[in-house]
Structure 1
C-alpha cells in the first residue's frame, strides 16, 4: 500500500496494529496474509471507550482481514478518507459526513449505532448547570466564565459542542475557554485537573469515570444525541484504497453478530450498554 500511506502523514503516531504482525525474513504464519490488511480511520471515542478492543479481534477472526487503526477526530478521519489514506471510516459527525459523501469519492454510508453526549463538570458546579436545559447550561457557563475545556480538534464532539454554543447564542472565548486539540480521553483528564466543564460522549466518560472527579451535570437533551456511521471509501479517493476491505468491514459491522457485540459492550462493567446498535434503520433515523 506504499510507505506514505502506511505512515498516514502526521497521524502516524496513533497508528495501532490489531492482529499478528509480519516478522522480517521469517516464513509467514498461518492466518491472514499481508494483502488482507485494511486501514480504518475512526474517532477517538471508539478507541478510548474500549469498543475497538472488543470489535476488531472478532472482525479479524470472522473475515481474515487485519486492521490498522487511525484514531483521530471525525474531521481528521474524513480528511484521511478524502486523501485516499484510509479504506473505511467509522465516524460521528453527520453533517460533515453528508457533505463528504456528496463530494463523490466515498461509497456507501450506513448507520451503525448511537449513544449520547453529556455535559460534565466538577461536583461543586460553580456555573449552576445541574439539571437545567442544555441551552441554558451553555449560557450559564459562559456567563459565569467558568472554565470550559474543549477538544478543539475538528472531531464530531467538537462540532457538536460548537453547535451547542451557537444554539445558546454564545461565542466562547477568553481565558475561561480552553482548547486541548486532543482526543476525548486526554480532554477529560485536562478538564478534571482544571475542575472545568466539558462535553463528552457517554461511553468514553463511563469507561474512565473511576479516575475522574467530573460528574454528569446535564444529559438527555435531544441535541445531545451522538450518531455513528460507517463509510466505505472507493478508488475515486486514490488508487491505494481497498474497496474489498472497506466493504468487508462495513458489511461486518452492520451484521447481526457485530451489532450484538455493540449492544452488549459495557453491560458487564457498567451495568448498561455504552452504545445502541442501529443497523438496518433508515439512513435518516436519529437525525443522522
Structure 2
C-alpha cells in the first residue's frame, strides 16, 4: 500500500501538467499521434450519463482526437471499483470522500475538479410531509420520516446515496419501515419511482431538470445554487486510473480526455449544455484562483507519509 501511494505521488508530480493542456483551437479528427482509432473506457455516474452531458463531451472529444470513448454508467462507488479492478481508464464521479480513498490507495492519479451542481429534495405538489416549510435539509428529512411519507432512496453505492446517508446521520430520524424504499437503481429510475408513488427523493439538480417534463414532481427544498443549505453542494471530479498499478490502462488517452474536459473548450461544452434553456452543471476546472490541492486527497500532507 505504501508503495502504491509513493508511485501515485511520483506519477502525480510528473504528470500534473498534462491535464488541461489540450488547446481549444484543435479541430477535426486525427488528433495527437497514438490516439487516433484508440478506445477509452470511462466509468461515470448515472447523473452525467442520464442527462446526456457525457455524450456531448465524448462526441466532441472523438471529433478532435479521433479516439472512441466507451462510457459505462454506474454509481460512484461502482465506478471507482471498476477503476480499482483496472477495467476502465478514467472515472468521473461525485463523492469526494470516496475519490480521496481511491487516491490514497494508489489506484487513481491526477484528479481534477470538473464541475458542480447541487442536490435538491423533490416531491409531489401536495407535499404531505410539509417539506416546503422546512428549515433546512435535515429538518426536511425529519419531516418526511415523521409523517412516514414515501421516500425513494437510491439504495446503491452512489454519490447521491452517500450524501443522503450523511443527512440521515445528522438528523434525529432513522430511515426504515414501509415508507422508506431502497431502489438500488440510478437517478432517473429513482425519480420515476418517486413520481409513481407520490413520494420524495434526493436528486441532483441536473438529472431532475432533464426529466422534469416527464414526471409529476417539483423541487420542495432548494440546494445552495438557489440559496439552499451548503450540505447540498454536489461537486464532480475526474481521475485517471494509475498505470503503475494497472499497466494495461490507456493512461495517455485518459490524460488527453482529462485535459480536454478541463480545457476551455471542454468547460464551454459544460457551460452551454442546457435542457429547456436551463443549465445543468457549472464548470469549475478553469479558474483565476485554481485549487492546487484538488489533485490529492483532502488533508494530504507529504511530510506525514
TM-score, length basis structure 2: 0.80
Residue matched to 2:159: 156
Q: CA offset at residue 163 of structure 1?
A: 0.7
Matched-pair contact (CA < 8 Å) for 2:37–2:66: no
1:229 paired with 2:231, answer no
Residue matched to 2:12: none
CA offset digits 1:147-168 (Å, max 9, x no partner): 1000111100010111111111
Matched-pair contact (CA < 8 Å) for 1:114–1:277: yes
The partner residue of 1:92 within 91, 94, 97 is 94
Residue matched to 2:246: 238
Residue matched to 1:104: 106
Q: Secondary structure at the match of 2:235?
A: strand
RMSD of aligned Cα (Å): 1.9
Task: Tell me, in whole angstroms, the C-alpha distance in 2 between the residues paired with 1:198 and 1:284.
Answer: 33
Task: Tell me, in whole angstroms, the C-alpha distance in 1 between the residues paired with 2:151 and 2:122.
Answer: 10
1:202 paired with 2:205, answer yes
Task: Tell me, in whole angstroms, the C-alpha distance in 1 between the residues paired with 2:72 and 2:56.
Answer: 16
Matched-pair contact (CA < 8 Å) for 1:106–1:236: no
Q: CA offset at residue 181 of structure 1?
A: 0.6
- Unpaired runs of 5+ residues, structure 2, are 1-28, 223-227, 299-305
Matched-pair contact (CA < 8 Å) for 1:112–1:279: yes
Residue matched to 1:166: 169
Q: CA offset at residue 171 of structure 1?
A: 2.4
Task: Tell me, in whole angstroms, the C-alpha distance in 1 between the residues paired with 2:256 and 2:267.
Answer: 15
Residue matched to 1:10: none
Matched-pair contact (CA < 8 Å) for 1:150–1:177: yes
Q: Secondary structure at the match of 2:42?
A: strand
Matches within 5 A, 1:53-92: 53-92=55-94
TM-score, length basis structure 1: 0.85
Classify 1:134/1:184 alpha carbon distance in 2 versus 1 (closer, same or farther; 3 Å): same
Q: Secondary structure at the match of 2:132?
A: coil
Task: Tell me, in whole angstroms, the C-alpha distance in 2 between the residues paired with 1:65 and 1:153.
Answer: 32
Residue matched to 1:116: 118
Q: CA offset at residue 99 of structure 1?
A: 1.1
- Unpaired runs of 5+ residues, structure 1, are 1-29
Matched-pair contact (CA < 8 Å) for 1:188–1:198: yes
1:282 paired with 2:282, answer no
Classify 1:145/1:255 alpha carbon distance in 2 versus 1 (closer, same or farther; 3 Å): same
Task: Tell me, in whole angstroms, the C-alpha distance in 2 between the residues paired with 1:164 and 1:275.
Answer: 22
Q: CA offset at residue 283 of structure 1?
A: 5.2
